[in-house]
Amino acid sequence: MQPLDIYLDEGALDGDARFPSAGAVVVGNANAISEQIEELILELSLQPDFRLEPKAGQLESVGFHHVDDNLLAKSRFKTLLPRLDFEWLSSANLHVGDADPYDLLPAQFEWVVGRVLQKYRGRPLHFTFEQNQRLQTQFSGIVEAAAAATGTTLDSVSTSIGTKNDRVLSVADYCIAISTQAIKVWMDSCCDSDRLAKSFKFRDFAAIEPLCSTLFAFDLRKSVSSRAARLSDHAYFEVTGVHATSCTDAAGA
């Protein structure tokens, strides 16, 4: 069978949208996606207006990275994403309290890897993890634990730690960033579906949602988006049974 490349990253560990997330992008032709990303990098680097943007000179060496990219780079990469041939899935913790997100991520990565192993059982798989000083010693163990939990042999499974030269990692990075921003709006909207539909952050997510096999709320043990049911199909209050603190209906509940 044709081998598949899986690129994994973590994100949303701080800030307003603090939903520690482990995500994976599954591709059958990583070279084709890398070439499309390289073409966009070249196109942007030739634009005089882009060269005036902050950190524009770093794009060729480090690639796209949501937290560092300027507004023009973000906009163009978001436009490219729905045209790429990939599948993505992610596990996000919606309620973490004072927990260290790095204590939560290994189990989330294990869940994501397990889903991929189950869905593509028997196919050669290569998992490329984004480098992370606090987690990278655990990556091989995560894959082994996921294989044990799903009854999968590792004969045709391999792992590596990626670099910024692995351009497809930027796809995983953006999927996490876009989805967690949409989750924030979804939670804040709570019972108000009109508010969700009007948000540009939700619209960014809606553009890549058809490529998402599942967006799993790890702490709720529920999928909040999949190819069968979209994020906008069920309000946050409907899913959880509780109002968000920002909900205008909470005071009268």
Structural domain including 33 reads: 4-239
What single DSSP character describes residue 252?
G
Tell me, yes or no, whether 204 lies in a domain: yes
State CA 249 to chain mean position distance.
Answer: 31
Q: Is residue 248, in this structure, part of any structural domain at all? A: no
The string of DSSP codes covering 200-229 is: HHHHHHHHHGGGEEEEEETTTTEEEEESSS
Domain membership flag for residue 253: no
Beta strands in 98-219, from DSSP E residues, in sequence order: 125-130, 157-162, 212-217
List of the chain residues with pLDDT < 70? 164, 250-253
Rounded to an integer, what distance in angstroms lies between the CA atom of residue 160 and that of residue 140? 8
Confidence at residue 250, expressed as pLDDT on a 0 to 100 scale:
62
CATH number for the domain harbouring residue 83: 3.30.420.10
The token pair that represents 185 in the structure block = 């709006």
Full-model pTM: 0.95
The single residue listed with the structure tokens 């994100």 is 11
Residues 76-86, buried b or exposed e (16+ Cβ, 10 A)? bbbebbeebeb
Distance CA 15, CA 49 (A): 29
Nearest to 12, CA basis, from 2, 3, 23, 1: 23
Q: How far apart are CA 118 and CA 148, in angstroms?
A: 11
Q: How far apart are alpha carbons 44 and 47 in whole angstroms?
A: 5
Strand order through the sheet with 21-27 = 157-162, 125-130, 4-11, 21-27, 87-92, 212-217, 222-226
CA–CA distances in Å: residue 210 to residues 82, 87, 167, 216: 9, 9, 22, 15
Q: Are 86 and 26 in contact (CB under 8 A)?
A: yes
Domain assignment present for residue 251? The answer is: no
53-to-44, 46, 80, 126 alpha-carbon distances in Å: 11, 12, 19, 36
Closest CA to 174 of 69, 92, 27: 69
pLDDT score for 251 = 53
Does some domain include residue 245? no
- What pLDDT is recorded for position 163? 79
**Interhelix angle 139-150/101-119, nearest 10 degrees:** 50
Helix, strand, coil shares, percent, the chain, to 5: 50, 15, 35
What is the tens place of the pLDDT at every residue in 75-117? 999 999 999 999 999 999 999 888 899 999 999 999 999 999 9
What is the number of domains present in the chain?
1
